[in-house]
Amino acid sequence: MKLIQTDKETLLKPLQAVTGIVERRHTLPILSNVLIERKDKSLSFVATDLEIQITALTQDSQVIKQGFSVTVAAKKLQDILRALPDKAQVTLEAEENRLQVKAGKSRFNLQTLPVEDFPMLPESIEPQTKITLQQKELKNLLFLVQYAMAQQDIRYYLNGLLLLLEENYLKVVATDGHRLGFALIALEMPQEKKEVILPRKAVLELAKQLNDSEEPVTVEILQNQTRFTFSNIVLVSKVVDGKFPDYNRVIPIGYQKQFEVDRLLFLQTLQRAAILSNEKFRGVRLILTTGNLRIVCNNSEQEEAQEELEVQYDGEALDIGFNITYLLDVLNNLTCETVQCSFGDASSSALITVPGNDNFKYVVMPMRI
């Protein structure tokens, strides 16, 4: 039975939007598949890993009239479509438990699995809270803090990102226990206080999918889920059940030792010093004296890198150590020209901010070197 006859891009674009969460080898074979459905005049492509579900829609006038649904290996279909010539006309035909992909003189027969076995996430229909903002605003907000999420911490609530609606603000916070990123943007309307922890995979996928555009993205907080709708894509994610640490207690206030430095210059200086940092501990010493910042890295082979920067500083001398990766992460993800670094003493956390902007804060704990 002929299902679709259309050009390659009509199928490939929405397919690429959903395959990011698909694992090639899974204990449940159906989770390696994409569900392709035809309803009305639109085609929908759905992928899930039981925690996240992404749906991409596409309109196509050439689609065969009757409705259908089929599940097929997502990555294999994507690889086939990518390998076909540009502007190729593609036909999909279904026969028993096979899907045939035809293009020119090429033929590919793929195995299908029963549609009824595809595990759609049960969606709560009525959102508790709903906001709309520009895609580039949300994308930028996520990039400001996502690198501070933990990766495989036994404190599972750290392997994600806190999304907090409070008064007129949308706030995001990420921490792995060694550093913390905080960012916010103002909203047009005051909101009832709501907070959810988004899983790490959902955050990374969302940041990848959002455009740098002023097009809208709708964020809906549901019962145990969060739904993001934008650019013909709907991403639904379960939320992490747990209590996020009180970030307000972590962000220091009143630090007197501080200096401003060109972000790019500081980044490049640290990148050079990092070449000779210890591969395991990644330590760097920042030695701050009047008008001068000295950056020192050593490794287990007794090798050493030293860099110096002129800074406007006229306070007590300070010698403090950090994991250099944590400093490189924040400098790489900011886009401002200048950053402000503030310190307490050698055993207190450091605060990195953007001068004249209270909407971003980055806290990093010191380490003994």
CATH class of 129-249: alpha beta
Q: What pLDDT digit, counting tens, does each position of 301-335 carry?
A: 999 999 999 999 999 999 999 999 999 999 999 99
> Would you list the domain boundaries of the chain?
2-117, 129-249, 252-364
Does the pLDDT value for residue 136 go beyond 60?
Answer: yes
CATH fold match for the domains 2-117 and 252-364: yes
d(CA 279, CA 298): 10
CATH annotation of 252-364? 3.10.150.10
Contacts of 101 (CB under 8 A, 6+ apart): 77, 80, 81, 90, 91, 92, 107, 108, 109, 110
Would you state the pLDDT for residue 369? 78
Of residues 60 and 17, which shows the higher confidence score?
Answer: 17
Does the pLDDT value for residue 65 go beyond 70?
Answer: no
Would you state the pLDDT for residue 122? 87
**pLDDT tier for residue 40 given thresholds of 50, 70 and 90:** confident
Would you state the pLDDT for residue 4? 87
Mean pLDDT is lowest, of 120-134, 184-198, 247-261, for 120-134
What share of the chain in percent tops pLDDT 90? 88
Does the pLDDT value for residue 62 go beyond 70?
Answer: no
State the average pLDDT over residues 333-352: 97
Would you state the pLDDT for residue 60? 66
Cross-sheet strand order for the sheet of 257-262:
160-175, 179-199, 357-364, 350-354, 338-343, 257-262
Q: What pLDDT digit, counting tens, does each position of 146-181 carry?
A: 999 999 999 999 999 999 999 999 999 999 999 999
Q: What pLDDT digit, counting tens, does each position of 101-126 carry?
A: 999 999 999 999 999 999 999 877 78
**pLDDT tier for residue 61 given thresholds of 50, 70 and 90:** low
Check whether domain 2-117 has CATH 3.10.150.10, yes or no: yes
Q: What pLDDT digit, counting tens, does each position of 211-221 carry?
A: 999 999 999 99
Would you state the pLDDT for residue 64? 54
Structure tokens at 206: 């969302």
Does the pLDDT value for residue 59 go beyond 90?
Answer: no
The overall average pLDDT reported for the chain is 94
Name the β-bridge partners of 166.
169
**pLDDT tier for residue 368 given thresholds of 50, 70 and 90:** confident
State the average pLDDT over residues 266-287: 96
